């Protein structure tokens, strides 16, 4: 049975040349999740799709599909390109790589789609620290996947997380009360700041980043992220740390 989709809001999260003038595209769509598409002739000089099938440009995408790979039949901009440069660009590449590595194809995640649009707009605007924007997106992604721990209560007895407490993170279990600092042990204040999605404290921001990294690495199963190497080269002028 042929699938026909018209004017589906989506974003290109990865693309590569195919044959003489076409592209193989990974599109993250609102209602169908991540889909693999061929954009025939998209690199041709006279193609109306030339320069359109690119990351960080909001699109309406139409396609037909009978198997795993679909064929683009329409590609239209639905708004201005999110202008990402420097560190913001590498943050955008990191977000795209998370979608590619952690989400299966044809698995809709509308909440993640909304979070994705929000993080790209935030990175383009530059009004908030990139680190906080990334933490919110990471948490939204893992939450919608059903693998994020409860950040409001400990996993031992269900007691509320205390700002002055210490908690050991076990990715498959959650946050367990700890009596001393150590590997994968975080302050309750950092856990609560992550849940709230904001902090102005440098050390809390560092702990939030490390906590999310443990959770994401667990889902990646040891597979490295190329975008992290790029991000490691960019240090925040305020904290001296990567986002």
- The tens-digit pLDDT sequence of the chain (243 residues) is 889 999 999 999 999 999 999 999 999 999 999 999 999 999 998 899 988 999 999 999 999 999 889 999 999 999 888 999 999 999 999 999 999 999 999 999 999 999 999 999 999 999 999 999 999 999 999 999 999 999 999 999 999 999 999 999 999 999 999 999 999 999 999 999 999 999 999 999 999 999 999 999 999 998 999 999 888 876 655 544 667
- 107 and 166 part of one domain: yes
Q: Are residues 218 and 133 in the same domain?
A: yes
Q: How far apart are CA 116 and CA 214, in angstroms?
A: 21
Same domain, 50 and 126: no
160 DSSP 8-state letter:
B
CA dist., res. 199 & res. 189, Å (int): 10
Residue 22 near residue 39, CB atoms below 8 Å: yes
Final residue before a domain boundary, out of 58, 77, 96: 77
Q: Domain check: are 187 and 210 in the same one?
A: yes
Contacts (Cβ under 8 Å, ≥6 apart) of 187: 163, 164, 165, 166, 167, 204, 207
Which 8-state DSSP code applies to residue 128?
S
Verify that 26 and 70 share a domain, yes or no.
Answer: yes
The structure tokens 């699109």 sit at: 59
Identify whether the C-beta of residue 236 lies closer than 8 Å to the C-beta of residue 129: yes
Do 152 and 65 fall within a single domain?
Answer: no
Last residue of a domain, one of 77, 104, 137: 77
**Domains in the chain, number:** 2
For residues 148 and 176, membership in a common domain is answered with: yes
pTM, two decimals, is 0.93
Residue 143: inside a domain, yes or no?
yes
For 100-112, b/e burial (b = at least 16 CB within 10 A) is eebbeeeeebeeb
Q: What CATH number corresponds to the domain at position 64? A: 2.40.50.140
* 31 and 97 fall within a common domain: no
210 and 157, same domain (yes or no)? yes
Q: Which domain range does residue 45 map to? A: 3-77
Q: What is the dihedral of CA 80, 81, 86, 88, to 10 degrees?
A: 80
Please list the residues that pair with 23 across neighbouring strands.
Answer: 17, 39
Q: What is the CATH number of the domain that holds 128?
A: 1.20.1440.120
């Amino acid at each position: 049975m042929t699938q026909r989709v018209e004017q589906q809001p989506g974003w290109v999260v990865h693309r590569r040349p195919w044959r003489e003038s076409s592209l193989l595209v990974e599109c993250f769509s609102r209602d169908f999740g991540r889909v693999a598409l061929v954009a025939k002739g998209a690199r041709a000089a006279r193609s109306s799709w030339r320069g359109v099938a690119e990351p960080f440009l909001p699109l309406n995408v139409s396609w037909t599909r009978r198997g795993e790979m679909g064929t683009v039949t329409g590609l239209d901009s639905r708004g201005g390109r999110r202008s990402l440069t420097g560190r913001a660009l590498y943050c955008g590449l990191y977000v795209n790589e998370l979608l590619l590595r952690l989400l299966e194809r044809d698995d809709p995640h509308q909440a993640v789609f909304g979070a994705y649009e929000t993080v790209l707009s935030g990175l383009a605007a530059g009004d908030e620290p990139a680190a906080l924007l990334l933490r919110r997106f990471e948490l939204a992604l893992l939450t919608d996947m059903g693998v994020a721990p409860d950040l409001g209560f400990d996993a031992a007895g269900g007691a509320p997380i205390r700002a002055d407490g210490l908690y050991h993170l076990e990715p498959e279990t959650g946050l367990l009360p700890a009596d001393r600092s150590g590997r994968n042990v975080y302050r309750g204040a950092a856990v609560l700041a992550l849940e709230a999605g904001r902090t102005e404290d440098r050390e809390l921001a560092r702990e939030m980043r490390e906590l999310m990294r443990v959770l994401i690495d667990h889902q990646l199963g040891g597979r490295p992220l190329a975008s992290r190497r790029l991000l490691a080269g960019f240090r925040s002028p305020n904290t001296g740390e990567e986002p």
